Structure formats: structure tokens, C-alpha cells
Structure 1
Amino acid sequence: MTQVATATERLTVGTAAPRGGRTGGNAIDRARKRLFVPFVGPAFLLYTLLFVVPAGYAVWISFNKWAGAGPMEFVGFGNYIRLFSDKLFLQSFGNTLLLLFVVGIAIFVIAFGLTLVLRDMAGRKIARSVIFFPHLVNAMIFGVLAGFIFNPGGLVNSLLAVFGVNEPPAWLSHDNLFPLIMVMMTWVTTGYFTTILMAGVDRIPPYYYEDCALAGANAFQRLRHVILPLTWDVFGTCAVLWTISSVKIFEIIWVFGGSTGAGMPPTQTWTTAVYTYVTAFSGESVPAYGAATASAVLSLALVSVLVLLLRRVMKRDAVEF
């Protein structure tokens, strides 16, 4: 009893509040304030110089008519009015939304399905590496490879000829090219998000599954009440990453679309990223940097709005385990 009392006294003394009330807490707060500038200041300065200032200058350019050199001519919302009256921009914007939603849904359905299949499979680490491999290859290489596969004398048509199809479809026609790009983007990107989702599922403690087994829960109930709730934050992160990536898709469209021999991808395959590039550098004898920058600003606005909506829609109370 004496030893317990002595230990209790020591614990009481060690945890006693310092004299002066919240003096200790105030000292810590003052130390944090003093360290804020030397530690956070340089990062904030770099962020301002490398992102905030260029983004603000881009917004200013979007309100001007400018050829990239010489004086600017302020046109207000003229560039934006031009974009929304341009059928080619509207088509490019629609293609971007198709990649964002249709390809995004396909990616997450396939990725989550692979995650569930590979979760208890032997050799899943090797399978994970194989699935992730396409993401390591440069998108331009996939564009060149796809051109060889789907050209009139390529691999697909050669295989069809073996099975007696003497008049295979024109895969690289303008009508078929964008669906092929959507399929390729699904294939290239699925492994990346499968790896992230598998990491999210792997962190779930085994005792959750043991409790499900004791309660007699079936596979669907385990998926609904354990796996999905405990990986919901991972799904949210993946959705934000895909939203940002889908709006920036450029290389694979430019290279694969250019394999038709036209020098640049057909307009049926353009996204806002391709439209912005062509408008700024390749579309006219006099570059229209103002209109191109307005297109880029709209893409940034689209991403910002969608990310905010995703964070709001997919927001749930954090589950600690």
C-alpha cells in the first residue's frame, strides 16, 4: 500500500498543472508562432511564386487578346464567349467529360473488382506488380504501340484475318479512334488505382473479418459493412486523383491520334488539353494565347469545382482502427 501511495504521489506531482495557470501552453503557442515564419515561410513563398502568381497571370491573359509577344488587347470575357460559341471547344469539353466519368467509372469498377479477387489470392504481390506495370510505361510509348496494333496491317487485323475476317473494321477511322483511346486509358490507369485500393483493403485489421465470420455475415454483407466503410476515404482520394489526371490527358491522344497520318489527332478525339495546345501553338498563323489560356482556366475551374463536390459528397466521419 505504501508503494502504491508513493507511486500515486509521484504521478500526481508529475502531472500537476504548472504555476501560473496556462503559462506552459502559452509558451508553446509563442514558440510555434516564432517557428512558423522560418519553417513555413519559404514553402509558402515558393508556392506563391510558382503557382499563385502564374495562375493569377494566366487568368489575366485570358481576358486579353494576345499573340504571345507584343502588347495585349483587353477584351474582357470575349475569349470565353468565343469558346462557348466554338463547336470544336464544346466537342473537346464533351470528350473530357466522357474520359472523366465513363472511363473513371470503368476504372474504379475494374480496379475494385481486381482488389477483391486478389485480396486472398496466392501470389498477389506478383499480380499487383504485373497490374501496376502499364502505369510505369510512358503514355507516348503506348500511343505509338497502339498505332502499330490497330493500323490496317497491324496485330488486330492480322489476328482477324486468321479467323477468316478478310474485311476488318477501320480501327483508326475518326469514328472509332476515341473509343479506342478510352479503352486504352482504362487499361493504362486501372493498375495504378488497383494498387491504391489494395493498400486500403490490406490495412483493415483481420479481427473485423473474424467478427463477420462469427456473426455469420456473407460476402456481400462483409463488403457493405466492413470493406466499403473502411476504405471510403481511399475511394475519395482516388476519385480526386482521377479527376485531376483526366483533365490533363494529352500525350496518348496526340501520339495515338497522330498515327492516322494526319500529323495531328482528328478533332473527334480532342480534349480540352489538346484544344488548348492547338489553339496556342498549332491552330492558327497567329497564336491565340488569350483563347488558349481561357480554355486552360476553364479546365482549372472544372477540376476545382469537381474536387470540392467530391470532398463534400464523399465526406464521412473518420473511422479509426
Structure 2
Amino acid sequence: MTETMELVIHRDRSPVGAQRDARLAKSTPLARSRRRVFWWFVAPAAVLYLVLMVIPSIQTLWISLNRWGGAGPMEFVGFENYRRIFADPVFMISFRNTLLILFVVGGLTFLISFVLMLVLRDLRGRRFIRAVIFFPTIVPGVVLSIVWGFLFQHEGLLNTVLRSVGVTAPPEWLSENSLFLVIMLGLVWINTGFYATILLASVDRIPPYLFEEAALAGANAYQRLRHIILPLTWDVIGVAAVLWTVSSIKIFEFIYAFAGGAGYLPSTQVWNTAVYSYAEAFSAQGVPKYGTSAATAIIMLLLVGVLVGLSRRIFKHETIEY
């Protein structure tokens, strides 16, 4: 009996025995029943993803290779649409603006969010303040554009404050030269609350005893930030960076509504690639160019893929257990 038990234990510990045991475990009625239940739950989501994401993406790629005005047969032109948009100075302006939003607005947003996280971490009433700064995230972009435009109008709140402190000739914030700067500031205002909330939630999960031990060891604020907060929130910062990368490239409604409300939407100086793609497909002037619009969307998709891959490599680190 003892020899038989030793033989079974020896077989279980061998690689071949482990593989055989794994195959036997997968072939049991319980395992087959679990797989069926798993696929019943996954199938609806997979079908929706296929219908709403994969098939439209393939159709967009095909349209980008054709010249098409939305009606009638398509004319296959290969990569002509891509060559045309890269030769279009309007697209290059919109692409530059997209990169400015991605890096400049993103940098300011994360910097302010990180400072808010450090300030609000131990502040009393931080839940109320968190709700206040998160509020712009849940308000529609069109409403935010109206509020932001009211602040920066010539007779708006900002210029009224400037006149009250002695500035007799406040600047024209909504001029064509400064409109995109105002848009970027508005995007910082809208997104800061969302990312500050994410960072605050990541700090809240850090056990308090780590900060207590660091204080007893004489660690200053910078050392606590470097050796506790950053390592234990690095994965969350990485996720937030990926979310910002995806959302920043497809920002549309705030720019479209704000520039349109200011009367400068025809000016291509404030367009980003999302607005450019929309204008190519639904412009009231001339024949709609669905081919170039789809090509712009494919370029945006490729840009998101490359930047998300880089973000994952930059923020990759070993899992820290605590």
C-alpha cells in the first residue's frame, strides 16, 4: 500500500504526470459543464464586439481604400486617400493639434491631478472636494463648451475680473490666434477631476502602516513619494495613461461645439484629427469624401495602437504585493 502511494505521488510530481492529470481534469463532466457555462456568458459579448467593433473596423479600412461620396458605387484607389491627406496642410495642422492635446494637455492634466492627489490625500472633506472636481467629467461636452465660452468672452467672467483689478484692455481670448490655447485649457479643466479621482483611489488602497513606518524611520515627503506612493501606484498611473491616450485622440464634441459657438469652426487652426475626419465626411461644402475620412480614422487607430503599446512598455513593472 505504501509503495502504491509513493508511486502515485511520484507520478503526480513528474511533468508528464502533471500534463496527464491536467488533460484528465479538463475531460471530466464538471470541467465540460464549466466550459459550456463560460461560453454561454462570453458569446453575447463576443457577438456584440464582432458586430459593433470588428466588422465596422474592417468596413472602414475598405472604405479608406476607395473613393466614395456616400452614394453609388465605390472606386478603388488603393492608398491614394492616405497620400492625399498627408499632402493636405489642413490634415497636418489637425494632426499637430492632436499631438498637442495628447502631450501638452495630458502633461498638465496629470501634473495637476498628481498635485491634487498629494494635497487631498490627508485633507479633511476630501470626498466632497473629489466630487466637486469630478463634476465636469459627467457633464455633456456641449454644456461645458457653453460654460467655458462664457468665461472667456470679451464681456465674460475672466475679463470682468481682470478689469476689476485694473487691467483696462483685457485680451481677446476667443481670437483665432488664442482660441486653441483656450480649448486646451478647457480640456485640462474637464479631465483633471477624472484622473485625480483615479490617482486618489490608488493612494487610498495603500495600507496606512507603510506611511506610519516611514514616518518612524524619519522619511521625508519626497522619500515617501519616491519609495511608497510612486511604486504602489505606478500600475494605476499606467492604466490612466492608456485611458488618456485613447480618449485624447478621439476628442470631438468639446472642440466642435466650442469653436462653433465662438464662430471659428471654419478655421482649420483649431481642428484636430477627429474634427478633420468629420469635416471630410459631412462637410456641407462640396461632395463628402468618405474615403479620406475613413483613412483619417485608420491613421488615428494606428496612432492609438502604437502609443498604447509604448505606454504599456514604459509603465511595465514587477507586481508589488503588500
Length-normalised TM-score, structure 1: 0.89
Moved more, 36-45 or 173-182: 36-45
Residue 183 of structure 1: how far off its partner (Å): 0.7
Instruction: Tell me by how many angstroms 1:251 deviates.
Output: 1.3
Which segment drifts farther, 294-303 or 155-164?
A: 155-164
CA 1:166–1:265 in 2, change beyond 3 Å: closer, same or farther? farther
Give, in angstroms, the shift of residue 301 of structure 1: 0.9
Shift of 1:128: 0.9
Q: Answer yes or no: is 1:302 the counterpart of 2:303.
A: yes
1:221/1:183 Cα in 2 relative to 1: closer, same or farther (>3 Å)? same
Inter-partner Cα distance in structure 2 for 1:91 and 1:144? 25
Q: More displaced, 167-176 or 48-57? A: 167-176
- Cα separation, 2, equivalents of 1:45 and 1:228: 39
- How many residues are treated as equivalent by the alignment? 303
| Secondary structure at 1:175 match in 2 | coil
CA 1:50–1:215: 2 relative to 1, 3 Å: same
1:119-130 matched pairs, under 5 angstroms: 119-130=121-132
Q: What's 1:97 paired with?
A: 99
Overall identity of the aligned pairs, in %: 53
Residue 312 of structure 2: aligned partner: 311
Secondary structure of the equivalent of 2:69?
coil
Distance 1:226 1:113 in 2: 16
- Deviation, 1:265, is 5.1
Q: Which segment drifts farther, 198-207 or 152-161?
A: 152-161
Q: Distance in 1 between matches of 2:227 and 2:158?
A: 44
CA distance in 2, matches of 1:312, 1:231: 16
Specify which of 215, 218, 221 is matched with residue 220 of structure 2: 218
Letter of the structure 2 residue corresponding to residue 50 of structure 1 = L
Q: Is the 8 A contact 1:256 1:265 kept in 2?
A: no
Shift in Å, 1:32: 4.0
Query: Which blocks of at least 5 consecutive residues in structure 2 are unaligned?
Result: 1-11, 14-19
Report if the CA contact (8 A) 1:193-1:238 is conserved: yes
Measured in 2, the distance between the counterparts of 1:71 and 1:312 equals 44
Give TM-score scaled by structure 2 length: 0.89
How big is each residue's C-alpha offset from its partner over 1:93-149, in whole Å with a ceiling of 9 and x where there is no partner? 010000000111111111011111111111111111111112122111121122222
Amino acid paired to 1:76 = G
Instruction: Return 87-96 or 251-260, whichever deviates more.
Output: 251-260
Cα RMSD for the two superposed structures = 1.9
Change beyond 3 A, Cα 1:69–1:21: closer
Task: Tell me which residue corresponds to 1:13.
Answer: none
Letter of the 1:278 counterpart: A
Q: Which runs of 5+ in 1 are unaligned?
A: 1-15
Instruction: After superposing the two structures, state which structure 1 stretch, 132-141 or 293-302, moved more.
Output: 132-141
Q: In 2, distance between residues paired with 1:218 and 1:162?
A: 42
CA distance in 2, matches of 1:222, 1:49: 48
